[in-house]
Chains A and B, each alone.
Chain A
Amino acid sequence: MRGTALLFYILRRLLQTVPVVLGVVVLNFLLLQLAPGDLATVLAGEAGGAPKEYIDLLRQRFGQDQPVIVQLYRYMAGLLTLDLGYSFRQSAPVLQLLLDRLWPTLLLMGTTFLLSLGFGVTMGLLAALWVRTWKDHIVSVVAIIFYATPLFWVGLMLILLFSIKLGWFPTSGMEDVVAFNEGWDRVVDIAHHLVLPSITLSLFYLALYARLMRASMLEQRGLDYVTTARAKGLSERQITIRHVLRNALLPVVTMAGVQVGSLLGGSVIVESVFAWPGLGQLAYQSLFARDFNLLLGIFFLSSCLVVIVNLIVDVVYVLLDPRIRIG
């Protein structure tokens, strides 16, 4: 019974994402209208990017002589069938470029997500257990400093210390391409390259989750159910682990879902600092090539990614919180 209810819940949430995706498409279209030149020239990568035949083809397809609303409809129909056009700067279909760069970004984001959530929750939990002691203060001070540090600067400082001075980690890239590693060696090589970028991207979120977790733990500890549990004779350890921790995690999970969009923005910076070959670096390149078609494709895909991750977080939330009834 719970299974079908969950399925319906997922379907309903899926339906709710439709307006967001449509909204992004409309936003993309509006942005294209803002750019100098008509839709076809902008999409083709501005002057010199594309052969004239392709621009004429685009003009015809979007119906440049038609009212804007018709152009919007045709643009929308293109995007929603995943026809993201062609990038003449990179000489490849946009969709192909995006899919090639998706995995490095997902790897970086996934690692960061686990790292920041794991360490952030642990730090917040410990700070709450040590509340008002010097250990709690140290955690709080570290968190508030990480929270205020610019991402790109952390990355550069880590490179300065660990790559240039100590030589422990590579300065850039995702793997040693000339080594032609295969199998397990390749995994180790990529993990070695992943260390600094993922730490860089993690610090801010780690601080955010630690602060939130600490506050959430302290709030939960003062609630009636804790008194009940204590009256029932449970040990403090049991109360903390079985009751307080589970409830205190919920706001952190919500926040982690909310932060996915900002994580993607952060990965643009981190990828350009570490030359990590993901979507962020592609965005950075397309920005300066004025390859708007590719840039907007990245924006579209990233927004879809955020929507999907939010959906997953919501489902996890339902599974985690017994108070939420679905259906």
Chain B
Amino acid sequence: MMKSFSQRFLHNPLVIVGLSWLTLVLLVAVLADVLAPANPFAIVGKPFLPPAGDFLLGTDSLGRDVLGGLIHGARTTLLIAVLSTLAAVAFGALVGAVAGYYGRWIDDVLMRLTEFFQTIPSFLFALVLIAILSPSAMNLVIAIATVSWPPIARVVRGEVLSVKSREFVRAAIVAGQRDSAILISQVLPNTLSPLIVTGSLLVATAILVESALSFLGLGAPNQMSWGFMIGAGRSFMREAWWLVTVPGIVILLTVLSINLVGEGLNDALNPRLADA
């Protein structure tokens, strides 16, 4: 017998572990100002205090609280990753839906464009975009979204192609619905499950890209982020191992959790594939 979606999804122990960590990070990000009221850039003590002293995770080279930085970093990193993924999903879905639905030369042109964006070295492109637009939270979102929409477009196009000749779409055409209405109300809802899986995995990639950009010093200025903390701590690895180690573990756990949940979603939404 086929189990229901929530049974399949929530009975997976890896999904539970992933969801727990993500819930924690999300809560911390939302409640950052309550949990760590001080400005994360404020100097609170002596530099290089080791963990488990006055400050749970120690202080950095300037005497800033590492835990406070992680808490505020969660907000920056998550916000940028989620916003850029939403932008990529919106744009990718539009491109994929239009290409799949209209077919012919429109499909050709849009798919060549998608392939082009998949061919060019995407991280390098994001780097160039930020360098030219100047680093800011908004530009990070733009740059990450610009390099991550192609997989979404491909997924949506494939789904639209398989749905558009089905009877309910034909019925809507005969009933005189407009193209845009058919796409939004008939076709796109059917592409939702692969879209959710691909989109959730994109958030993980976006976190990695955002961290790497912040690590290189191209992150949002005046906003604490995990990648920035690692970049700032790398010169002091000899004296203070925790400055680099701890934020890295936080990034690793977060990305890992998203991947676990994304794969759990995939298995739960495509039960036949999971059993194979």
Contact = CB atoms under 8 A, between A and B. Distances in A.
Given A150-B251, A264-B121, A310-B119, A292 B131 contact: yes
B238 interface: yes
A86 to B, nearest CB: 19
A152 B212 contact: yes
Given A288-B217, A299-B128, A150 B248 contact: yes
Select the residue from B123, B124, B131, B256 with max chain A CB neighbours within 10 A: B124
B interface, over-half SS: helix
Interface in B7-47: none
**Interface magnitude class on chain B:** 35 or more
B112 interface: yes
B127 A268 contact: yes
B133 interface: yes
Interface string B227-255: 10010001001100100110010011001
Contacts of A153: 230, 244, 248, 251-252
B204 interface: yes
A295 B128 contact: yes
Contacts of A19: 112, 116
A164 B236 CA distance: 11
Residue among A20, A23, A151, A156 with most chain B CB within 10 A: A156
B125 interface: yes
A307 interface: yes
B218 interface: yes
B61 interface: no
B175 interface: no
Contacts of A145: 252, 256
A34 B133 contact: yes
B112 A283 contact: no
A67 to B, nearest CB: 22
Nearest to B128: A299
A237 B122 CA distance: 41
A148 interface: yes
A31 B255 contact: no
A148 B132 contact: no
A49 to B, nearest CB: 15
A272 B255 contact: no
Given A145-B256, A164-B238, A268-B127, A303 B119 contact: yes
B212 A269 contact: yes
Contacts of B216: 268-269, 272, 284, 287
Contacts of B244: 153, 156-157, 160
A258 interface: yes
Contacts of B217: 288
A307 B118 CA distance: 11
B79 interface: no
Interface string B92-123: 00000000000000000000100010111111
A23 B116 contact: yes
Contacts of B252: 145, 148-150, 153
B259 interface: yes
Contacts of A303: 119-121
B215 interface: yes
Contacts of A160: 237, 241, 244-245
A261 B118 CA distance: 8
Contact of B124 (A156, A302, A310): A302
Interface of B: 112, 116, 118-129, 131-133, 204, 208, 211-212, 215-218, 227, 230, 234, 237-238, 241, 244-245, 248, 251-252, 255-256, 259-260, 276
Interface of A: 19-20, 23-24, 27, 31-32, 34-35, 144-145, 147-153, 156-157, 159-160, 164, 222, 258, 261-262, 264-266, 268-269, 272-273, 283-284, 287-288, 290, 292, 295-296, 298-299, 302-303, 306-307, 310
21 contacts: A20-B119, A20-B120, A23-B116, A24-B120, A27-B120, A150-B230, A150-B252, A152-B230, A153-B230, A157-B244, A157-B248, A261-B119, A261-B120, A261-B121, A261-B122, A262-B122, A273-B234, A283-B124, A295-B128, A299-B124, A299-B125
